[in-house]
Amino acid sequence: MLFLVLAVVGARADYGAVEKINRNLFMSASISLGWPHGPATGPLTKVSGTNVNISFSGFGNSGAPYEGNDPWVAVAIIKIEAKVANSDVHTWLFPGSPGTAGAGLVRFASTHFGDGASISLWTKATFNLYPTGGGTPTENTVESTITLSCYNKLQAWSTHEDVINNQYQYSANPPTNYYSATSHRCIEKSRIYFPIAELNHQQIFPAAHADDNQQHESTDPASINNRMDEATAWFIATHGEPTNIRASFDDSSVISPDDVLSFGEISGYTERAVGIPPPNLAVVYARSTLSNPIGFGNAFKMLYFLSPLADRAYLGFPRILWSILNFPSGAIGGLDVHANLLAAELSTWWTVQEALDYANNRYIPRDDQGAPMPMQVVGDPFARLTGVYMSATEWDNARRYDWIWFKD
């Protein structure tokens, strides 16, 4: 029996669509990459985070050019099979009244794979073709494959300034001043535990100084700014205000433009570079950024104006943040203990809200009056770095440790 297969190359604009013609019937199998990453425009389209949505579909229809004998009178899809990388093959069945179209939906976590990993997706749609005059239908199949590239990159930085009695002190790395040392320790576990690759780490904002002769350690802001559009997660420990994050300890009277990143500037720097998928997490240990949650939530692309976006979260503080915190036992420690516990828990299948609640209860952040001030979430509290993302309405504890979800 003669038939014609048309692959996407030269036949369709949709990557992942394969079409077969059998007599007077069209049959197709398609793999579609959904929001927020799609559509896939070609091999190795990049995906990030734990909310990668795929539709595997099949469609049959009459109307193909055919002048021979015995045209088919009908086509019905009976099943779709699919596989994502090393997953088992999953099957969706379409029994009952014959239908011409069917689809199966899948969500998976790209962080299950290494950054830069190329993964293959496969599907097969099976159809029944019904002959003229009745009789036993003939089974035909159409297969399609696509490849995606997993892209998950962390940009972590901490302030690196030593201030003693309001005087800037030059020091080698690692810093000796308490505030700077605490800031550095805050980001360490994020670099160890996060299941994503690093863009750069321990970068710093340059400090502004009233005394131009004062030695200080600094880094060109471009080393941070010019790579923010490549990051999918940020873990930051520095100084904050309601409208900016900044480098200097208390030099507000001499701040220069290069020392401050306003949320307006961050919004520009975090615009996605061509082909870079959306981010899903920003953790900022800096005071007062959540006194304006809309500004920073939008700037880091965790909100769309006032609306949360699925699997995206901004974590920060609403008021002045003390770098010393109190444990429930009464012991005193640095804020880095909270930061490192949070980073560790985010890597162990917990949502950001679960990880944050655990860190906040174990190690209580304080404001400048000594009052408890837990870190807060703006955006989606169900966002996560490991395990497949599930919203509040989808939540199923049985899937907490799954990296893939075949929706039946």
For the chain, what is the domain count? Answer: 2
| Residues 264 and 381 both lie in one domain | yes
- Tokens 């000796």 sit at which residue? 176
| Residue 194: band (very low, low, confident or very high) from pLDDT cuts 50, 70, 90 | confident
| Residues 115 and 157 both lie in one domain | no
| Residues 286 and 162 both lie in one domain | yes
pLDDT top residue among 128 and 369: 128
- Kindly report, residue by residue over 6-60, the tens digit of the pLDDT: 333 333 448 999 999 999 999 999 999 999 998 998 999 999 999 999 999 999 9
**CATH number of the CATH domain containing 192:** 3.40.50
Q: What angle do CA 303, 308, 310 make, to 5 degrees?
A: 105
> CA neighbours within 13 Å on the CB side: how many for 238?
26
pLDDT top residue among 298 and 273: 298
Q: Which of 107, 118, 114, 108 is nearest to 44 (CA)?
A: 118
Q: Is the dihedral of CA 39, 41, 45, 46 positive or negative?
A: negative
| Residues 256 and 368 both lie in one domain | yes
User: Does residue 394 sit within a domain?
Assistant: no
- Kindly report, residue by residue over 201-245, the tens digit of the pLDDT: 434 333 333 333 333 334 455 667 778 888 899 998 888 888 888
- The pLDDT value recorded for residue 10 is 31
Strands (E), 23-173: 25-33, 45-47, 52-62, 74-84, 90-93, 101-108, 118-130, 138-150, 153-158, 162-164, 167-169
| pTM for the whole structure | 0.85
- The pLDDT value recorded for residue 348 is 87
- The pLDDT value recorded for residue 207 is 37
| Residues 48 and 166 both lie in one domain | no
| Residues 257 and 341 both lie in one domain | yes
Phi-psi region of 199 (alpha: psi -120 to 50; beta: other; left: phi over 0): alpha
Name the least confident of 2-6, 24-28, 126-130: 2-6
| Residues 140 and 160 both lie in one domain | no
| Residues 141 and 195 both lie in one domain | no
- Kindly report, residue by residue over 301-328, the tens digit of the pLDDT: 999 888 899 999 999 999 988 776 666 6
The Cα 224–Cα 155 span in angstroms is 8
- Asked if 106 and 81 touch (Cβ cutoff 8 Å), the reply is no
* Domain encompassing residue 110: 4-150
- The pLDDT value recorded for residue 157 is 79
- Residue % of the chain over a pLDDT of 70: 78
Give the pLDDT mean for 104-112.
Answer: 95
- Kindly report, residue by residue over 139-186, the tens digit of the pLDDT: 999 999 999 999 998 888 777 555 555 544 444 333 444 556 677 777
| Residues 273 and 355 both lie in one domain | yes
- Asked if 286 and 237 touch (Cβ cutoff 8 Å), the reply is yes
- The pLDDT value recorded for residue 198 is 62
